[in-house]
Amino acid sequence: MTLPKNYQAQKDALKEKVILISGGGSGIGKTAGLIFAEHGADLILLGKNKTNLESTYEEFLDRNLKPPLLHIMDLEQSNESNFQEINNVIEKEFGKLDGLLNNAGILGDKTPLENYKIDVWKKVFDINVHASFLLTKSLLPVLKAAENSSIIFTSSGVGKVGKAYWGAYS
């Protein structure tokens, strides 16, 4: 299905929908969150930077949008039980999850491969790949509880066409 160029979503298109956004404190995640809230969604913003999340929260208030729930979590340092905790909170607060936007990611170093540090390589994969897997896996129970849930993974064009020196990211 292709949307027409002039498509405009209805103002309440996401009313009563619960959506979690990883990397929700800045960039694409923050922008998506604000747009989803403008269309009526209840949001959970997950991120590692408390200052960014709180700043985004204030922006929701400034725009008279329903404030999101904030969940501070360092995806690199988290384990399966940390991810399960998110499912438990959503189940208790909402009983379901209509959408998951796996958006959190880091670039890592832009350097020739022979100079790439293994700890940076592992960090990129832990955040960009492993955390998305664990978050999705842990949230399947609340996603299945929703009538018609969706999971979206953001990605970059360098995942399809690599760029020199982009290492683990591409």
Active site amino acids: 169
* Spatial separation of the C-alpha atoms in residues 164 and 49, rounded to whole Å: 29
Amino acid at 36: F
Side-chain-side CA neighbours of residue 2 (13 Å): 2
Take residue 37 and report the two structure tokens written for it: 């809230």
Q: CA triplet 122, 135, 154: central angle to 5 degrees?
A: 75
The CB density around residue 104, as the number of other CB atoms within 10 Å, is 25
Q: Could you tell me the CA-to-CA distances from 137 to 33, 72, 158 in Å, in that order?
A: 22, 19, 26
